[in-house]
A and B are shown apart, each in its own frame.
With several copies, the nearest count.
Chain A
Amino acid sequence: MPEVREPRFKLGETAWCPGCGDFGILESLRAALDELELEPHRVLVVGGIGQAAKTPQYINANGFCGLHGRALPPAVAAKMVNPALTVIVNTGDGDSYGEGGNHFLHTIRRNVDIAHFVHDNQIYGLTKGQASPTTATGQVTHVQPSGSPSLPMNPLMLALAMGAGFVARGFSGDRDLLTHLMIEAIRFRGYALVDILQPCLSFNKINTFAWYKKRVYRLDETHDPSDLSGALSKAQEWGERIPLGILYRREKPLWSDHLPHLAGVPLVDRQPDPAVLQALLDDLT
């Protein structure tokens, strides 16, 4: 039986609706950080804007709530210059895949060592229920009264197609698994995505807790996460059965592995070398 100790990471009061799936995600995040024995001052949680994106407000680590859709660029840059930080992005599906879609693509390409936890409620929560990129075709909202006319995005397929090294799916209602996925994602050397199914009880009346509960199942050892084509086919599974777990895991060189001049002393701790600058100036002479 594990020793009971005071958790390092504490949670604050939230502005979420009672019963929201975000609570489970926040709890798992806290559990993951505690289990990893990280120190709050060395953890940076980044969000954009949205319900999910308020997560950094509610946990006592460093927090950065930037602009809607723009969580990834500052997160990546913070890690580039201050690699002692454990950088985690918690934000919404709209934030990550809608307004922020372009950063999602190129953050994967960059492969900086951050973890990206998407609270995927398949809806825009904070703005009261418009379709998000993952909303099903035909789902009716106030703004899509004839049903959403677009194909839903499959974030896992997308991440795999872009070459992400760690691709997983969690569910806010399976907290143990989610905590485990978060830990693995944080430990993973490189960009790691966990797309987290999250009921929004106020605005998504289709993908409810019960809807997910009925469909999700945990991937078992028969799934080989190092096999891309297996991962691609698991990523396409949606509807009656929805797999949870690590679909794909394979380390690739980091962005910084290609930039040897950044090895060694972190940028934040470097001092400029006057001799180098003098040489540059002299080169102009």
Chain B
Amino acid sequence: MDYNLLLGGAAGQGMETLTVQLEAVLKRVGFHVHTTHDYMSRIRGGHNFSQIRFGDLPLWAPSSDLTGVLALNPETVLIHQSRVCPGGFVLVDEGLGLTGPDLLALPLARMAKGLGEPQAIGSVALGVMLRLFGIGWEPLEAILNGLQGKKDLRSPNVEAVRAGFGLVEPRYDPPSPAGEALHMLNGSHAVALGALAADMRFYAAYPMTPSTAVMTYLAEHMVETGVVVEQAEDEIAAINMAIGASFAGVRAMTGTSGGGFCLMVEALGLSGILEVPLVVLNVQRPGPATGLPTRTEQADLRFAIHAGQGEFPRMVIALRDVADAYRQTQRAFDLADRYQIPVILLSDQYLADTRRTVPILPLRITRGPRFISDASGLEPFSYRRYVITEDGISPRIIPGQVPDQIQCVDSDEHDEWGHIVESSVQRVAMADKRSRKLAGIRGELEEPLFLGDPEAETLLLAWGSLAGPMREAVSLLVDQGLPVGALIFGDLWPLPTGELEKRLPRALHRIHVEQNGTGQLASLIREVTGVSMTGSVLKYDGRQLTPVEIVAGVRKAVTSHA
């Protein structure tokens, strides 16, 4: 059982805080929670909303049906009323003077004023909604008191919540609590925490929506964690700083969105030829250029794979959900370090901003000294940074830490000492050494996640943050009697082909589901396997596909191909 609430208003009306408070309470009651955000690229005004789904099972996507709406302005009523299900409600302040079906006009402002806290309208509304879902006052009060100390939560006003609580009677049966300990976080937190768990010590970035939240989280915790979080003058500086820090011996990362990633492309190749480990996060948003800054898209896949002049090994990994983002970010550092390559993480606005509950994330710190050589036993000044090896990996040392050993690195083609060369033979030797790493990297690849019916003749193919909506869509389709299987890619470059080779030949309908207009995954699969898709479900308006949209799109694709 799950419910779905929409909180809408203008930027600056305090909705963000209210959303965080409501979901914090719901989670602490023990529910699974899934919150998505829809906000405009402005600070005040406009129309923003959040949708909070909660229930007794893990939730993977927003739902189109609404149990209730809290409308802080009339626009919210206008736009969203039609999505309210029978028996649902639209909660507004009576002062808005609105009437209509489902309308629950209550003296929210008046109550707040009565308490001498006119700002506390949100807390009153919180009380109303929690009461409607049959949550008891005692546990609620305990939770509210527990929230008081929390940073960034601007604690709800307990008196005001109580006042709201008194305005209505319970209407809905509460879902049963999940019964297991949960973490609640969004994709941005997950990446930041994954990086910290990987022992990242240096993060340089330039603010860019929707990637900024990673920097903000890391900065807020830089004092406890003892890391550098540096706001660079531009993205070029950010990535070159990260490379410098990594060269100098710490794990380092940079993050941005597509426009900033463009500016990092030259240095991606620098990481490639210097063989300096690097993790680059690209939180995608719709382009080209500035595009839709606060919306979502998956249109940088081919760009990430091919970015940079020349050829060098890299990995591109898409993040699928918050738990995956935590794990994959940590893995990215390990792979970058082991193979001395750049690893690009592709996230998107939807994943970055979507907060959901997940089973407790394990803490396992992975950075060990194992990827750094101590160079002991070498003659003085005989260390060769780029010694040619069979697997293409040359042991690194940390500059300054090995007496009488130095290292030189150069973005020109170089010899084993890192000195500039121009000879054909040395060029080929060094290029081959670098590309031999690909064999090792291929051995590390993770196959895509498979969901649904392994016998189905319809195979869906998707990647990254569509994982959540796809999970629900696959269940819905199977429930509706259309058996489907689905592959959801995380590792994208090099492209793992095991599952593809197994499943593509048997699939009569091959339908790619992507958040872009050209079908970038489809083109990649065709390039690597030669197999083309039979149908597409594509969306590029900046809003994430919902399970229901996917279901409709898949049905249509199957019908028109059959």
Q: Tell me the A residues contacting B by CB distance below 8 Å.
A: 12, 15-18, 39-42, 44, 46, 49, 51, 54, 56-57, 60-70, 72-82, 84-85, 98-99, 101-103, 105-106, 124-128, 130-131, 133, 142-146, 202-203, 259, 261-262, 267-268, 270, 272-274, 276-281, 284-285
User: Which of B40, B44, B360, B409 interacts with A202 by CB under 8 Å?
Assistant: B44
State in angstroms the CA–CA spacing of A84 and B75 once bound together.
Answer: 45
Q: How far is the CA of A143 from the CA of B228 in the complex (A)?
A: 11
Q: Mark B230-254, 1 if CB is under 8 A from A, else 0.
A: 1111101110111111011110100
Known: A17-B45, A66-B411, A82-B398. A73 touches B226 (CB 8 A): no
Chain B residues, Cβ within 8 Å of A131: 231
Complex CA–CA separation, A84 to B400 (angstroms):
7
Neighbour of B243 across the interface among A74, A101, A144, A273, CB < 8 A: A74
In the complex, what residues of A have CB within 8 A of residue B221's CB? 280
Q: Assess whether B212 is in contact with A262, with CB atoms less than 8 Å apart.
A: no
A81/B259 contact (C-beta < 8 A), A98-B234, A142-B216 known: no
Q: In the complex, are the beta carbons of A67 and B406 less than 8 A apart? A: no
Minimum CB–CB distance from A195 to chain B (whole Å) comes to 18
Roughly how many angstroms separate A280 CA and B185 CA in the complex, as a whole number?
11
Q: Shortest CB–CB separation between residue A85 and chain B, in angstroms? A: 5
Q: Are B215 and A278 in contact (CB under 8 A)?
A: no
Closest to A203 in B: B43
Q: Are B219 and A145 in contact (CB under 8 A)?
A: yes
Closest chain B CB from A155 CB (angstroms): 14
Q: Are A66 and B270 in contact (CB under 8 A)?
A: yes
Q: Is B51 an interface residue (CB 8 A)?
A: no
A69 surroundings in chain B (CB, below 8 A) = 234
B41 nearest CB across to chain A (Å): 7
Q: Which of B220, B227, B247, B360 contacts A142 (CB 8 A)?
A: B220
CA distance A128 to B274 in the complex (A): 26
- B555: CB under 8 A from chain A? no
Q: State whether B248 touches A82 (Cβ < 8 A).
A: yes
Quick check: B249 and A56 within 8 Å, CB to CB?
A: no
| Contact in complex: B411, A65 (CB < 8 Å) | yes
A76 to chain B, nearest CB (A): 7
Of B58-66, B201-209, B435-443, B536-544, the one with at least 4 CB within 8 A of chain A: B201-209
Instruction: Evaluate contact between A202 and B367: CB separation under 8 angstroms.
Output: no
Which B176-234 residues have C-beta < 8 A from chain A?
A: 181-185, 189, 193, 196-197, 199, 201-202, 204, 206-209, 212, 215-216, 219-234
Known contacts: A81-B202, A285-B360. The answer to whether A39 contacts B233 by CB under 8 A is: no
Of the candidates B45, B185, B410, the one whose C-beta lies within 8 Å of that of A63 is B410
User: Complex: how many Å from CA A185 to CA B227?
Assistant: 28
Tell me if B170 is interfacial: C-beta within 8 Å of chain A. Answer: no
Q: Which residues of A contact B209 (CB under 8 A)?
A: 127
Decide yes or no: A62 and B406 within 8 Å by CB, A143-B229, A280-B221 being known contacts.
Answer: yes
In contact, B216 and A60 (Cβ under 8 angstroms): no
For the complex formed, measure the closest distance between the CB of A17 and the CB atoms of chain B, giving whole angstroms. Answer: 4
List residues of chain A with CB within 8 A of the CB of B402. Answer: 41
A60, A98, A131, A285 pick with most chain B CB within 10 angstroms: A285
Contact present for B250 and A73 (CB under 8 Å): no
Give complex CA distance A278, B193 in Å: 10
Q: Can you add 6 more A-B contacts, CB < 8 Å, to A57-B419, A77-B202, A268-B201?
A: A17-B45, A67-B266, A274-B363, A281-B361, A284-B189, A285-B183
- Given A49-B290, A84-B400: A268 in contact with B406 (beta carbons within 8 A): no
B183/A284 in contact, CB under 8 A = yes
Give the complex CA separation of A116 and B226 in angstroms.
Answer: 28
Measured between beta carbons, the chain B residues less than 8 angstroms from A41 are 399-400, 402-406
Is A276 a contact partner of B398 (Cβ separation < 8 A)?
no
4 closest cross-chain pairs (CB), A and B: A74-B244, A77-B244, A106-B233, A63-B408
Residues of B within 8 A of A82 (CB): 248-250, 398-400
Q: Are A73 and B237 in contact (CB under 8 A)?
A: yes
Let me know if B554 is at the binding interface, CB within 8 A: no
